[in-house]
Amino acid sequence: MADCIFCKIAAGEINARVVYEDADTIAFLDLNPQAPAHALIIPRRHIPRLTAAEDGDAELLGKLQLAAVRTAKFLKVEGAFRLVTNNGKAAGQSVDHLHYHLLAGRKLLWPPG
């Protein structure tokens, strides 16, 4: 999608520190990390947010979770990490392309703020 920063990263038009990729998904380090390990896992295809996913996206959503596991293993944080998506502005979503945050490497508080 034109003007979507994460579509541009998926297409290689904007540089990112890619830590995992396959045909359907790509994971890269967050530009403004909130933990020692902070990666974003996205589908290559533009889906604005989780609530925009449809029945036909079920397999892709599963692949995203497996991509997150592979990302965690690559970053050597598979023993303890948090996987979260912000769905909607009030929930903290600032980029309108579905992404999961993978956070690790420090004590993660619960409940989150």
Q: Which amino acid is at 17?
A: R
101 is catalytic: no
Residue 42 main-chain phi, psi, to 5 deg: -130, 155
Q: Of 20, 28, 81, 100, which lies in the binding site for ligand 5GP, with binding defined by CB under 6 A?
A: 28
**Residue whose token pair is 């990112």:** 16
Q: CB-wise, 26 or 75, nearer to Zn ion?
A: 26
Nearest to 100 by CA among 74, 69, 75: 69
Four-point Cα dihedral 19, 55, 81, 72, nearest 10? -30
Binding mask 68-97 for Zn ion (x = CB under 5 A): -----------------------------x
Residue whose C-alpha is closest to residue 27's, from 91, 98, 109, 81 = 98
Ranges within 32-91 binding ligand 5GP (CB under 6 A): 32, 40, 86
Q: What are the residues binding ligand 5GP (CB under 6 A)? A: 5, 16, 28-32, 40, 86, 92-95
Residues labelled as active-site residues: 99
Q: What are the residues binding Zn ion (CB under 5 A)? A: 1, 4, 6-7, 46, 97
